[in-house]
Amino acid sequence: MSVPFYVAPEQLVRDKAEFARKGIARGRSIVAIEFDSGILLLAENVSRALQKISEVYDRIAFAGVGRYNEFETLRKAGIRQADLMGYLYSRVDVTAMGLATGFSQTLGQIFSHEPKPFEVEVLICEVDSDSDGNRLFKITYDGTLYDQRGVAAIGGKGETLEQALRAGYREDMTLEDAIELGVSAFRESEGRESEGWEAAVLDRENGRRAFRRIQVGEAAP
């Protein structure tokens, strides 16, 4: 009878975390920036077919970096959960907090119990009728949930991007200001011009369906 190969739990967790971080680092980053009437989501994305940013529910958006098939699985699960909750109870019961908690639990379970963790980071954003009620949640590969304010960034250079964003962020920014800040933060962290943009906004002035995509031309200041 063969003896199972032993790995210390601490080493196993470190190895899984390093594996996930390396996979995420190969993806291109995404930022979220609050502006005067909503939230901007801006991603560097050269593909016009594979989208990183999408609507989940009335005032809630999803963005993911890392392995496309893995964050797409999470996105679809989030849409199903939101639709079911809104149908069984009320549309107002569907919140970014509820969805982010579900993603956090799913990613934490996968990280703890599966041989391979998901190589993804996720942003869940919700715009409210009052800017004080906006929500930005970042969920990492191990299920850690962060409640952000003002700006958020995910991806390989997320920390550097967030520092650049916070250095230039103001609470009274317009959409144009937010786009300019996001583009300049990407330029500063990457040290080059972007090869292409994917952008969308959650704008409270759009009514119940707050999500709206911005064409690539609009996203270039």
Rounded average pLDDT over 4-8: 67
Token readout for 216 is 């690539």
Give residue 4's pLDDT: 62
- Please state, in angstroms and rounded to a whole number, the distance separating the CA atoms of residues 64 and 49: 15
221 has a pLDDT exceeding 80: no
- What CATH number did the domain enclosing 200 receive? 3.60.20.10
In the three-class reduction of DSSP (H, G, I as helix; E, B as strand; rest coil), residue 209 is classed as coil
218 has a pLDDT exceeding 50: no
The residue range of the domain holding 192 is 9-16+24-216
Rounded average pLDDT over 74-85: 94
CA distances from 19 to 22, 35, 69, 108 (A): 5, 35, 17, 15
State the CB neighbour count (10 A cutoff) for residue 112: 12
- Please state, in angstroms and rounded to a whole number, the distance separating the CA atoms of residues 194 and 186: 8
Tally of domains within the chain: 1
Q: What is the pLDDT of residues 170-216, one digit of tens each?
A: 988 999 999 999 999 988 888 778 888 999 999 998 888 899 998 75
Classify residue 156 by its DSSP letter.
T
Give residue 47's pLDDT: 83
Task: Decide if 1 is inside a domain.
Answer: no
Task: Decide if 184 is inside a domain.
Answer: yes
